[in-house]
Amino acid sequence: MSENAQLVSVHIMDADYKVSCPPADLPELQQAAAFLNARIAEIRASGRVSGSERIIAIASLNLAYDYLQLLRETSADRDEVRQRAEKLLSQVESALGKITETPL
């Protein structure tokens, strides 16, 4: 446990878990636990999955999948932004080159 971290309790599904968390990160930890509990509730309500461990495993797998999808989308967006920036830079450099080549 880091020096500034505190031991806090989070409620997930039907159990409380003690985890180490810096005080500044506590709101995000609570939000993450609430988000996980909401996903667990959705899976429970579907009635297609039974057993606490299995429900938690499916919720975790779904969240990991969603996370990886976001990483791929972010990477693609970053690549597109980089390509556009390079194109704009090239256009600016070309325009500047024409300005400096034109006699006054």
Write out pLDDT tens, residues 66-78.
999 999 999 888 8
pLDDT at 78: 87
What is the rounded average pLDDT of the residues 14-22? 95
Residue 14 domain-assigned? yes
Residue 23 domain-assigned? yes
Q: Among candidates 68, 14, 9, 70, which has minimal Cα distance to 40? A: 14
Residue 81 domain-assigned? yes
pLDDT at 64: 96
Residue 44 domain-assigned? yes
d(CA 101, CA 87): 21
Q: What is the pTM of this model?
A: 0.68
> Minimum mean pLDDT among 36-40, 61-65, 81-85: which range?
81-85
Residue 18 pLDDT grade (very low, low, confident, very high; cuts 50, 70, 90) = very high
Q: In CATH, what number is assigned to the domain containing residue 82?
A: 3.30.160.880
Residue 33 domain-assigned? yes
Range of the domain at 35: 6-101
Q: Which residue has the higher pLDDT, 80 or 31?
A: 31
Residue 1 domain-assigned? no
Residue 32 domain-assigned? yes
Residue 77 domain-assigned? yes
d(CA 18, CA 10): 6
pLDDT at 40: 95
User: Domain count of the chain?
Assistant: 1
Other CB atoms closer than 10 Å to residue 56's CB: what's the count? Answer: 18
Residues 99, 101, 103, 104: what is their CA dihedral angle, to the nearest 10 degrees?
Answer: 30
Task: Give buried/exposed letters for 62-79 (b at 16+ CB in 10 A, else e).
Answer: eeeeeeeeeeeeeeeeee
